[in-house]
Amino acid sequence: MTYLELSEDGGGAHKFYEVTVAGTQVTITYGRIGEAGQTKVSKFSSEAQAQAAAQKKIGEKTRKGYAAAVRGVRQRRAITRRTIASTRSTALQAPVLWRFDSGAAAFGIFVDGERCWVGNQRGDVYTVTHTGTVTGRFRLPDGVKCIVADDFWIYAGCDDGRVYDLSGKVPRSAYEIAADVDIYWLDIHDGVLGVSDRAGRITTIDYEDEFQWARAGAGNSAWMVRCDEDAIYHGHSNGVARYDSSDGTLIWENKVADDVLFGWQEEHSVYAGTAGRTVHRLAKGDGRVEAVYRCDGAVYSCATSPGGRHVFAGDNQSSVYCFDASGERLWKLGTGCGSAFSMQYLDDRLYIVTTDGSLACIDASEEAIAAARQGTVPQPVDVKAAASLAVVEPSAVLETVLETVVSTGGPDRGVVVECVREGERLRVRVVTPGYESWNVQFPKDVREPGARYVVDGIRPAGRGGFYRAYGEIRRLL
């Protein structure tokens, strides 16, 4: 067994790599120091081939700066947790229809036409219907920073440095962030991931989980990143900047909206919630301020109704606000369940996740808000998760299916893909006829040279040039 570490000062890399040879089998375990890491097992036709393969891997790592070490001497680096400062609102109560206690402070939320997702600092991710029934539970290895969607795919950024795809029955590790990136927030568009971090940097990673570019921002504590087809919008302690998504060229920078704590976007505008008690709306094209929405406390989160007709905000005093597009405040109401760390609007409902771990559904219709401003609100329903609800954890283990069943058009048919070696990297390509010879976005921890898999389907990326696998993944025998 050979154990190596690479640990750089100043917040740089902090990783380990372990190679174990047992007869004709080589086991490689790698990851961040202080964590269990990921394991890959390869079998060879002879002990000599296994030893040669192991020495090759060790040589590759030592050339990159890894050195022999003793496991357990270096400790895991601390993870930044967002400081929770929340007071009780003195405003009238908002019309909360239902609320679900996730069990710990929650940052992650995503709402679509089918369900709501909430992720908390314990690593729990729940799915809840719009009417308040808990339907699923995932358990990730560490705290959830945020939950984002990219077309069909749902991703959760986790404090273990990985981004998990939650679109299937089992969470799969889709991206692994470099060890020197202390994730604050992330967003994704067409398979390209943008990550903002504690140091104020912005980093982008492509669909193969490979580094694209990184830029040092003009501030620190970068809580905002939003991605679209052309650009990355990055907010930190000294303002907001736009970068070209392809190469990281700085397009504009606006230092008016400083101490940014949250970001949102519409087609033509980005919104920056700030510690200065404001939400700034900035034009995507040139960064000019289009409107300012003024609150009574530091703004932890913001969102809009479609097209930016209404702007919502949540402050550190457990209040939520609604403004019209021009900046006029229409109402301010108390959540009754902590300050909103994140929020999303859908179909006259404002969904928030809060400092006390609640996912709450607020009736934001004109009638409900008018009644609330007169002191009349419904009694919120306290949603509970069933004790029998299964907890699903990430796994690199795949179900198997006979290739003959797939090839004869049986019930398990889908699209067949194959893992091939390309230099030092493993790529996945489509085998089923009728597709381009593009690479397929595919979880790294299940790739094995020569292995074939069947997936429910694949879709071309919007920009073209690669495919994205979706649905369940099964190994062909």
What lies within 8 Å, CB to CB, of 347 at 6+ separation is none
> For position 411, what pLDDT does the model report?
53
Q: What is the pLDDT of residues 142-176, one digit of tens each?
A: 899 899 999 999 999 998 888 999 998 999 999 98
- In this model, does residue 12 exceed pLDDT 60? no
Calculate mean pLDDT across residues 246-271. 95
Cβ-contact 99, 380 below 8 angstroms: yes
> For position 78, what pLDDT does the model report?
61
> For position 246, what pLDDT does the model report?
93
> For position 52, what pLDDT does the model report?
92
- In this model, does residue 13 exceed pLDDT 70? no
To which residue do tokens 């992720």 refer?
A: 119
DSSP string, 80-94: -----------SPBP
> For position 83, what pLDDT does the model report?
62
HSE (side-chain half, CA atoms, 13 Å) at 26: 22
Regarding predicted confidence, which is higher, 308 or 81?
308
HSE (side-chain half, CA atoms, 13 Å) at 109: 28
> For position 9, what pLDDT does the model report?
60
> For position 477, what pLDDT does the model report?
87
Q: What is the pLDDT of residues 288-299, one digit of tens each?
A: 999 999 999 999
> For position 84, what pLDDT does the model report?
63
State how far the Cα of 214 lies from the Cα of 377, in Å rounded to an integer.
Answer: 48
Query: Is 96-383 in CATH node 2.130.10.10?
Result: yes
3-state SS assignment for residue 332? strand
> For position 336, what pLDDT does the model report?
94
Cβ-contact 229, 462 below 8 angstroms: yes
Query: Which of the 8 DSSP states describes residue 167?
Result: S
Q: CATH classification of 2-68, choosing from 3.40.50.1110, 3.40.50.300, 2.20.140.10, 3.40.309.10?
A: 2.20.140.10
Least confident stretch, 139-148, 219-228, 244-253, 397-406: 397-406
> For position 412, what pLDDT does the model report?
56
Query: Which of the 8 DSSP states describes residue 256?
Result: S
State how far the Cα of 217 lies from the Cα of 50, in Å rounded to an integer.
Answer: 46
> For position 37, what pLDDT does the model report?
78
User: Could you tell me the two tokens for 380?
Assistant: 């919120």
Regarding predicted confidence, which is higher, 45 or 271?
271
Distance of CA 220 to the CA centre of its chain: 20
Calculate mean pLDDT across residues 328-350. 96
What phi, psi does 379 have (nearest 5°)? -80, 115
Distance of CA 449 to the CA centre of its chain: 28
Element at 310 (helix H, strand E): strand 310-315
> For position 369, what pLDDT does the model report?
96
Other Cβ atoms less than 10 A from the Cβ of 280: the count is: 26
Q: Please state whether beta strands 239-244 and 231-236 pair in parallel, antiparallel, or not at all (unpaired).
A: antiparallel
Cα–Cα nearest to 372, from 400, 312, 330, 344: 330
In the chain, what percentage of residues exceed pLDDT 70?
95
Calculate mean pLDDT across residues 70-84. 71
Cβ-contact 197, 224 below 8 angstroms: no
State how far the Cα of 444 lies from the Cα of 235, in Å rounded to an integer.
Answer: 30
Q: What value does the mean pLDDT of the chain take?
A: 91
Kindly indicate the confidence band of residue 304, based on its pLDDT and cuts at 50, 70 and 90.
Answer: very high
Give me the residue spans of the domains in the chain. Answer: 2-68, 96-383, 399-476
For residue 26, what are the CA distances in angstroms to 202, 396, 475? 37, 17, 21
In the chain, what percentage of residues exceed pLDDT 90?
72
Q: What is the pLDDT of residues 436-475, one digit of tens each?
A: 999 999 998 899 999 999 999 999 999 899 999 998 999 9
